[in-house]
Amino acid sequence: MQNVKDTDKQYVADTYARFDLEITSGKGSLLYDDKGNEYIDLGTGIAVNTFGVSDSEWVNAVTEQLGKFQHTSNLYYSSPSAALAKLLCEKTGAKKVFFGNSGAEANECMIKVARKWAQDTKGKGDYNIVTLKNSFHGRTVTTLKATGQDVFHHDFGPFPEGFLYAEPNDLESVKELVKENRCAAVMMELVQGEGGVIALDRDFVLGVEALCKSENILLMIDEVQTGNGRCGELYAYMNYGIKPDVLSTAKGLGGGLPIGAALLFDKVEKTLGKGSHGSTFGGNPISCAGAVNVISRITDDVLLGVRERSRYVFSELSCAKGIKSVSGMGLMIGIETEADVNAVLGECMARGVLPIKAKNKLRLLPALNIPMELLERAVKVIKEVAAELA
């Protein structure tokens, strides 16, 4: 019989450069491979398994919904999506939520909202959206174009027009584009995740918020990766003291099930009317039941725990031998090593620790509740490997 790796190589589209590792089970922040080796999980499926693998409270919430019904379509009312929308609005001040199935779809919704809002309020033509260089907003044709990295713009043209790229942390560059073009919105991640785990400067973010207000355009925050407790607040914008007009999120929202959401604040509360947008699976009851469990459990205590764990990692690694820099926010952390990142990553894996990568950095995205003892063991391994390979 063909083994899993060979079957995958033969039949699954060749889009992923997978590691030579087959995960067969896990619990909390531990993963196990087909040979029974144990790993400390610092990636959580790229910021998805918010409370770790097969967390029992989350499993119970999802299983309970599975026993009722798995899907109804958006033709009818159902309680999980209504409950989740209410929870998200109460915790953020948003007025409405649109549910999709992924980060890219949440961003597609955000882009559609910006274009329709601008058309409704200013007339045709004010459709441009300013995004930042080095950003990442998804892999649909439109979100690829919204992504401010040329490398993503080579193969799939023609792309929709209307995206302009400003320099991150350079307010003048955003101002210039906004003033010289007819714009609907500025759209940005507060910590550029795929771009290398780089947090935007507070002054820059406050400046962009003020600019959006004075130019009457929307401030749209992509919290697909930064959201849902990852950065030490429920959403990263709360760390900056700003208020977005639209916010997208996904990844950790469902705790391991596919779901994306666009949160619509006051200005755009009424932008999406009946028939203007939709999704067959959007608001799926199973995903929403998982997400209600996740969001209701991101309490002040959990957030305090995220910040404490973050401080620990920053203080242990910032001046460690073989480590050039530590960046990020909360439990979204980038580590630049003197040695080549692939070598460091490979050696960490060989020693039972699974970080992931972002550009030339190790990226840590552990569960919000990773036990301190496991985090300490993982940090010790990263320190040892970075020093030995330097």
Ligand X SMILES: Cc1ncc(COP(=O)(O)O)c(C=O)c1O
Of the two residues 28 and 229, which places its CB atom closer to ligand X in the complex? 229
Give min distance, CB of 260 to ligand X, in A: 6
CA dist 361 and 225 (Å) reads 16
Question: Which of 104, 197, 306, 344 is in the footprint of ligand X by CB under 6 A?
Answer: 104
Minimum gap (Å) between residue 135 Cβ and ligand X: 7
Interactions with ligand X, residue window 119-138 (CB under 6 A): 136-138
Q: Sheet harboring 353-354: ordered strands across?
A: 23-27, 30-33, 38-41, 353-354
Distances from the Cα of 318 to the Cα of 195, 230, 334, 339, angstroms: 20, 20, 11, 15
Q: Which is nearer to ligand X, 223 or 347 (CB)?
A: 223
Please count the residues of this chain forming the interface with ligand X, following the rule CB under 6 A.
14
| Residue (193 or 256) nearer to ligand X, CB | 193
Interface stretch with ligand X, choices 188-196, 230-238, 262-270, 372-380 (CB under 6 A):
188-196
Shortest gap between Cβ of 114 and ligand X (angstroms)? 15
Return the DSSP state at 159. P
49 is a contact residue toward ligand X (CB under 6 A):
no
Q: CB under 6 A: which stretch of 21-29, 102-110, 123-131, 149-157 binds ligand X?
A: 102-110
Secondary structure of residue 248 in the 3-state scheme: strand
Residue 194 makes contact with ligand X by CB under 6 A: yes
Instruction: Provide the residue count of the chain.
Output: 390
Nearest to 243 by CA among 274, 264, 229: 264
- Asked if residue 219 lies in contact with residue 185, where contact means CB atoms within 8 angstroms, the answer is yes
Tell which one of 29, 49, 107, 228 touches ligand X (CB under 6 A): 107
- The 10 Å CB-count burial string (b at 16+, else e) for 353-365 is bbbbbbeebbbbb
Q: How far is the CB of 99 from ligand X (least distance, A)?
A: 13
CA distances from 95 to 83, 148, 227, 265 (A): 14, 29, 18, 5
| CB-nearest residue to ligand X | 103
Cβ nearer to ligand X, comparing 28 with 195: 195
| Binder of ligand X out of 26, 100, 193, 227 (CB under 6 A) | 193
Residue whose CB is less far from ligand X, 134 or 379:
134
Q: How far is the CB of 48 from ligand X (least distance, A)?
A: 9
- Closest approach, Cβ 240 to ligand X, in A, equals 16
- Beta carbon nearer to ligand X, 281 or 312: 281
Nearer to ligand X, 28 or 330 (CB): 330
Site stretch for ligand X (CB under 6 A), options 5-13, 153-161, 186-194, 289-297:
186-194
Minimum CB distance to ligand X smaller for 153 or for 351: 153
Nearest approach, Cβ of residue 10 and ligand X (Å): 25
DSSP letters, 77-136, are: --HHHHHHHHHHHHHH--SEEEEESSHHHHHHHHHHHHHHHHHHHH-TT--EEEEEBT--
Judging by DSSP bridges, how do beta strands 353-354 and 361-364 pair with one another?
unpaired
Nearer to ligand X, 224 or 257 (CB): 224
Q: What is the closest distance, in whole angstroms, from the C-beta atom of residue 147 to ligand X in the complex?
A: 8
22 residue type, one letter: E
How far is Cα 288 from Cα 65, in angstroms, rounded to an integer? 9
- Judged by CB under 6 A, the chain residues 249 through 288 that form the site for ligand X are 250
- Strand stretches in the chain, DSSP E: 23-27, 30-33, 38-41, 96-100, 128-132, 163-166, 183-188, 191-192, 198-199, 218-222, 246-249, 260-264, 323-329, 332-337, 353-354, 356-358, 361-364
- Report which residue type is found at 13: A
| Binding map of ligand X across residues 214-243, x = CB under 6 A, - = no contact | --------x-xx------------------
Instruction: Tell me whether residue 26 or residue 195 sits nearer to ligand X (CB atom).
Output: 195
Q: Three-class SS of residue 211?
A: helix
User: Which 8-state DSSP code applies to residue 191?
Assistant: E
Residues that bind ligand X (CB under 6 A): 102-104, 107, 136-138, 189, 193-194, 222, 224-225, 250
